[in-house]
Amino acid sequence: MIDRSKWAYSIPLVVLSIGLLKWPAKPRAASASERATKEEASMRTQPIVYAVVIALALAVASCSTFPKGRYESDPGLQAALVQPPEYPDVRLAVLSDLHYLDPALWGEGAAIEAYLREDRKLLRESAEILGEAMRLVATDPAQIVIVPGDLTKDGERSSHLQMARQLRGLESSGKQVFVVCGNHDVLNREAFRYEGDDHMQVAIRDRLLAEGSYHISSTEICGRRYLRLTIINPQTTEDTIEGLLTEIERIAG
């Protein structure tokens, strides 16, 4: 049996030796007859030199011994490598990029139509798609359900609550559910209600400012009006933001 590791060492040795033989010597002035004589002698001796170098390299490769890896010398590892791997008997179901939008967040009007013209996702059908997906997974023998991100359109609170209710239903059927939030699920500035046109955003802002409990502004992006919250006060807490969201839902509802 040929030891490939020895050949791995001998081949570079041969290449290096040939390269050194072909390295040009320091040039010196010589007559035409001297150069011709030297080239003729080189042509006669060069094959012999190559043969000697290759023979030496082969001799070194055949006589050399190299340390074996642990997997070659350890009987326990060799026995383990012979055994076929044991994989757990488990079935997985994956639900990815659902982009669910709570139907309560959109109705008829210019706002939702303008958004749908720019987005290829089936937002109007997302509730029906989600329901069918949950039905299929619930009846599937999979023990584990993985949801690797983008559960919602853009992180809408009510969309998350609806998704959580659906996933709890899968858990109640005996499945383990593992969820990882995606970039559409958190800290997304496009989490809005789409109803009528942009006047609703302005009306919510004006109502909040008039009541005096919270301060919020708005901005226009790609021709659409959005509410905008800038947090500067270091005493702002999560409860403050939750209270603001509750007020927005109250006014919009």
pLDDT tens column, 223-252 = 677 777 877 788 888 888 888 888 888 887
Statement to judge: residues 119 and 170 lie in one domain: yes
Token pair 């081949």: residue: 11
pLDDT tens column, 155-213 = 888 899 999 999 999 999 899 999 999 988 887 767 766 766 666 777 788 888 888 87
Q: Indicate the residue among 31, 65, 83 that finishes a domain.
A: 83
Q: Indicate the residue among 148, 179, 210 that finishes a domain.
A: 179
Statement to judge: residues 72 and 96 lie in one domain: no
pLDDT of amino acid 11: 58
Statement to judge: residues 151 and 219 lie in one domain: no
Statement to judge: residues 164 and 212 lie in one domain: no
pLDDT of amino acid 141: 93
Can you tell me the distance from the alpha carbon of 160 to that of 100, in angstroms, rounded to the nearest whole number?
8
Statement to judge: residues 152 and 107 lie in one domain: yes
- Is 34 part of any domain? no
Confidence of residue 19 (pLDDT cuts 50, 70, 90): low
Element (H, E) at 226: strand 224-228
Q: What is the CATH number of the domain that holds 233?
A: 3.90.1150.10
- Is 28 part of any domain? no
Domain holding 245, by residue range, is 199-252
Look up the pTM and report it: 0.49
Statement to judge: residues 101 and 149 lie in one domain: yes
- Is 187 part of any domain? no
Statement to judge: residues 162 and 235 lie in one domain: no
pLDDT of amino acid 78: 82
Are 131 and 165 within 8 A, CB to CB?
Answer: no
Torsion sign over Cα 135, 138, 142, 148: positive
Statement to judge: residues 119 and 55 lie in one domain: no
Can you tell me the distance from the alpha carbon of 136 to that of 175, in angstroms, rounded to the nearest whole number?
13
What's the distance, CA 133 to chain centroid? 24
Torsion sign over Cα 105, 110, 111, 113: positive
- Is 6 part of any domain? yes
Statement to judge: residues 8 and 64 lie in one domain: yes
Can you tell me the distance from the alpha carbon of 163 to that of 131, in angstroms, rounded to the nearest whole number?
10
By C-alpha distance, which of 150, 157, 158 is closest to 121?
150
Statement to judge: residues 174 and 143 lie in one domain: yes
Q: How many domains does the chain have?
A: 3
